[in-house]
Structure 1
Amino acid sequence: MIVRDEAANLPGALGSVQGVAQELIVVDTGSTDDSAAIAQALGARVLHFAWCDDFARARNVALEAATGDWVLCLDADQQLDPASLPALERALQRQDVLAQRVTIELLTAAADDRANPLKDGRALAVLQSFPQLRLFRRDARIRFQGRVHEDVADSLLAIGSSHWPESGVSLCDHGYVQAGERERKRARNLALLQRVHEEAPDALYPAYKLAISLPAHQQAEQAALLQATLERVLQLPVAEQSALPFLPQLLARTVEAWVNQGRLLEAARVCQRLLDLHGPVFDFTTGCAWARAGEWAPARQSLLRYLAAPVQAHHAAWQSDAQASPAQACWWLAWMARQQGDFAQAQAHVQQGLRSATPQQRAPLEGEGAEILLAQCEWVAAAQAIGAMQAGPEAPAAALSERLRVSARLAELTGDLPTALTLAQSALVPGQDAAAALLATLEIQAGQVDLPRLQHHHQALAGQFFDTLALKLLIARELGEPWPADLPAATQALIAPPV
């Protein structure tokens, strides 16, 4: 571990591995509190390192002092999930790998403590999970690299190691629960990333990390930096592309930026290019991109292939699309099936997705289930489905928005336009096209649009789907706004003047 002023967190972090670890090594980078004394009292060997804005150098001081066969790296605000102990014991017996991936579970405030994996009485729950290389053999060739967002992947790849299986071990990270602490860390990391990018502007990974770390008000700068980085990657030989573990995530984030600009066809074509070069690790991202563009056949092919083997990848080093999950793939398949009028298949995909969905993933699936009933004019069944959707203080914020949106759809389709307008207004969530498109459509139906309101809707709609893009372009046509990007055929069909 490397620490600085972590007196409050060290008992939990070190306590979680006491009796498990052969040795505890803590590198203090300049604490002004009792961190060093607390770590020593808990049995740790404490080393001191003068902080130089370089996380990798500090981590490597700890690695050089280690004597055990395996190294497990924690942050001070992380704890070993007690349920992971059997998995950790099994992982340490492996002789066939140099490194194993550990799941980082980001904790967030919750309504109660029932979902807290640490079972320490705090009202916390897992917000999201992602893998990191935190468990690896002690080897002088394995060292951290990177001033910030440091990891050992590059050093492992340099010695021919790319098989990094999941260990089954989880670390619970509570460092981002408090808003003030989240902002402090983000500001610190952003400053370091900007410095790294200035020092090495051609380095791909720092450019990608800087792009995704930019604040929301710099969305245009983020999109430009992501696109420039991906374009440079695409110019590399295929073998060099394969050596970039972050490439799937770079693609996913660039596609997200393009989607928010309505550049659906461009996004899908680049996804397909990388899928053709590298295989199944790009199936999920590619399937979603083709679905957004209204190209059902390639979208369905990629998403079904992903569902058949959701963890399959080119090699274990790939860091997959953070949005990829069986539940998400099922939502896309259900949405496409409904668009094509295959309601039985759409409902089957919804039910399949709900079986593996997290609380955050349930809302869109339940909303899609209601949409399928609405498409069949099953008003009573749709109302019952809406009533059964997640609600209350325990439900994710997105669940209320989705429930309001499909309630507005029910009111619209049953002829209650005033109620539909009220519900659609309440359902609005920044960055979500579905609710924005519904509100624009309802206001147009009600004759409530003037030039300023049309301009508002034009700005609010990103065109994230072929049909919401069509609505944006129809509004743009009224405003005399040109559209520079290629249009999906499905969008062109919706905006073509009637014959």
Structure 2
Amino acid sequence: MRYLPVHVVILAKDEERCIGRCLDSVIGRGFSSIVVLDTGSVDSTCGLAASYEAHGVQLVRIPWMESFAAARNRALELFDSVWVFFVDADEWLPVGEVEKLFGGLSALANQPREDLAIAPVIYDVDRDSWVNEVPRVFFASGCIEYRGEVHEYPVVSADGDSPVRLHKLNFTLNHDGYGREVAVRKRKTQRNLALLSAARERDPENPRWLYFSIRDGLPLHSPEFLLQACNKLVEMADHKSSGGDRTNAGEYLRRALPLASQNLGFHGWWSEVERNCVVLDELDGECSPDAQYLRRISDLWLGGLPDSSLSELIRIRKDDRIVAKSTLCPQGRHLDAVIAAGIEARYGGDEADRYRDMCAPWDDMFFVSSRIRMPQAELA
């Protein structure tokens, strides 16, 4: 089969753990070139990448500019009028997926390409979750650039930073860079929060940076910071945001409120949690599954889950349409966890374990492996 010209770019910094795995997954797969763009590794990453030179891998070193967008834009400057496929060093392309990529690009051959961004399915093997709205494949023609110090996103810079035209393509990248051990060793939380602080200072009216600041530093933030951030997102949701981000302020608010409410509830700020739940119901236009989750956690924390509330939660869990609206877990794992906690409080641990055995595990500020973090005596 003759493939379209597609060039792979792998961003890397201190990735000796996984750079070989990443390269092994893309060499010999029909790509026109493979470039490792190193932004200042001090471990053996560069040596490992250089050892693949015989397989056509090119190592390019650039200084770290305190911005992932700047690094990706530098990579795009290396190419002209070709498809560029960004792969992170902690990702790898499973066998059989490259054919889906090339086949999908061939099917798009007659579409305008200058503003087109292709999003694969990125599967997080540690969290057993996936996203399919993060663009990774572009036609490098000078029209698309990245914005943002971290959690960067592409825009059509040739059109005044307008949103890219997103096409979701059914091919998969595996990812494991945010497992606890790796994240702690590479200090990813501290790195991201510092970069997000710079992004908020540079672009204070962009809701993206507030949302990711909440998400990435959730256990570390004070309730006061989270209330201020959520109030700012509420204000932003009242007007159309700009900057070329495909996600609007209202959606960032939907995603932020359930996260911030975990921290608030953990610190006992349950009245603020309930106010957030009201907003979530309003945003969904009906019963929000995440609001229901938070309210039932409040019941457990403050004295016990009434039979009527447990029954209502089970009813919601059975409604796939409602569950799919969740921004915490569209698969409903968080609802399963709180249902199991309610069963344990009422019927005992054996019954709860039977339910847990049928469900995928859930972890957040309230649960670890679907077991509530509170002392069991508080659930009586």
TM superposition score normalised by structure 1 = 0.55
1:474 matched residue in structure 2 = none
Residues 81-230 of structure 1 correspond to what in structure 2 (within 5 A)? 81-95=94-108, 96=111, 98-108=116-126, 126-131=127-132, 132-153=134-155, 163-177=165-179, 179=181, 181-183=183-185, 184-214=187-217, 216-230=219-233
1:74, CA displacement in angstroms?
Answer: 1.0
Distance 2:61 2:177 in 1: 23
Q: Summarize deviations over 1:234-264 as a string: whole Å, max 9, x none.
A: 3314899995446424323224424623235
1:64, CA displacement in angstroms?
Answer: 1.6
Amino acid at match of 1:40: E
Amino acid at match of 1:70: W
Distance 2:66 2:34 in 1: 24
Distance 2:236 2:141 in 1: 30
1:56, CA displacement in angstroms?
Answer: 0.9
2:73 matches 1:72: no
Amino acid at match of 1:22: S
Asked if the contact 2:273–2:294 (Cα under 8 Å) also holds between the matched residues in 1, the reply is yes
Specify which of 6, 11, 21 is matched with residue 31 of structure 2.
Answer: 21
C-alpha change, 1:383 and 1:265, in structure 2 (3 Å) is: closer
- Please say which of residues 18-27 and 234-243 is displaced more in the overlay: 234-243
Q: Summarize deviations over 1:173-219 as a string: whole Å, max 9, x none.
A: 22233625435222222222223333444443223222322252424
2:71 matches 1:55: no
Distance 1:441 1:11 in 2: 48
1:467 matched residue in structure 2 = none
2:5 matched residue in structure 1 = none
Which structure's residues are more often helix, by fraction?
1
2:378 matches 1:440: yes
Distance 1:92 1:367 in 2: 47
1:429, CA displacement in angstroms?
Answer: 0.6
C-alpha change, 1:264 and 1:387, in structure 2 (3 Å) is: closer
Distance 2:245 2:153 in 1: 18
Q: Summarize deviations over 1:302-349 as a string: whole Å, max 9, x none.
A: x799834987xxxxxxxx8542425459x5xxxxxxxxxxxxxxxxxx
Which structure's residues are more often strand, by fraction?
2
Give the unaligned 5+ runs of structure 1: 109-125, 277-282, 312-319, 332-360, 406-426, 431-435, 443-499
1:63, CA displacement in angstroms?
Answer: 1.1
2:275 matched residue in structure 1 = 266
1:4 matched residue in structure 2 = 13
Residues 297-336 of structure 1 correspond to what in structure 2 (within 5 A)? 307-308=320-321, 322-327=327-332, 331=335
Amino acid at match of 1:129: W
Distance 1:164 1:309 in 2: 25
Q: Summarize deviations over 1:344-373 as a string: whole Å, max 9, x none.
A: xxxxxxxxxxxxxxxxx5x556667x589x
Distance 2:367 2:201 in 1: 42
Amino acid at match of 2:26: V
Amino acid at match of 2:232: T
1:386, CA displacement in angstroms?
Answer: 4.6
TM superposition score normalised by structure 2 = 0.70
Distance 1:244 1:41 in 2: 42
Q: Summarize deviations over 1:44-100 as a string: whole Å, max 9, x none.
A: 233232222111111111112134642221111111122533432332223247122
C-alpha change, 1:48 and 1:397, in structure 2 (3 Å) is: closer
1:157, CA displacement in angstroms?
Answer: 8.8
Residues 389-428 of structure 1 correspond to what in structure 2 (within 5 A)? 389-390=355-356, 396=361, 428=372
1:253 matched residue in structure 2 = 256
Distance 2:35 2:292 in 1: 49
Asked if the contact 1:211–1:225 (Cα under 8 Å) also holds between the matched residues in 2, the reply is no
Q: What's the secondary structure of 2:37's corresponding residue?
A: strand
* Aligned-residue RMSD, C-alpha: 4.4
Asked if the contact 1:226–1:254 (Cα under 8 Å) also holds between the matched residues in 2, the reply is no
C-alpha change, 1:165 and 1:322, in structure 2 (3 Å) is: farther
Amino acid at match of 2:328: Q
1:272, CA displacement in angstroms?
Answer: 4.4
C-alpha change, 1:20 and 1:248, in structure 2 (3 Å) is: farther
C-alpha change, 1:39 and 1:365, in structure 2 (3 Å) is: farther
1:396, CA displacement in angstroms?
Answer: 4.2
Q: What's the secondary structure of 1:92's corresponding residue?
A: helix
Q: How many pairs align?
A: 336
Distance 1:402 1:385 in 2: 18
Q: Summarize deviations over 1:425-449 as a string: whole Å, max 9, x none.
A: xx6515xxxxx6x73363xxxxxxx
Give the unaligned 5+ runs of structure 2: 1-9, 297-307
C-alpha change, 1:161 and 1:189, in structure 2 (3 Å) is: closer
Asked if the contact 1:367–1:403 (Cα under 8 Å) also holds between the matched residues in 2, the reply is no
- Please say which of residues 236-245 and 54-63 is displaced more in the overlay: 236-245
C-alpha change, 1:246 and 1:204, in structure 2 (3 Å) is: closer
Distance 1:74 1:241 in 2: 22
Asked if the contact 1:268–1:289 (Cα under 8 Å) also holds between the matched residues in 2, the reply is yes
Distance 2:106 2:137 in 1: 12
Amino acid at match of 1:270: V
Larger radius of gyration: 1
Amino acid at match of 1:137: F
C-alpha change, 1:102 and 1:250, in structure 2 (3 Å) is: farther
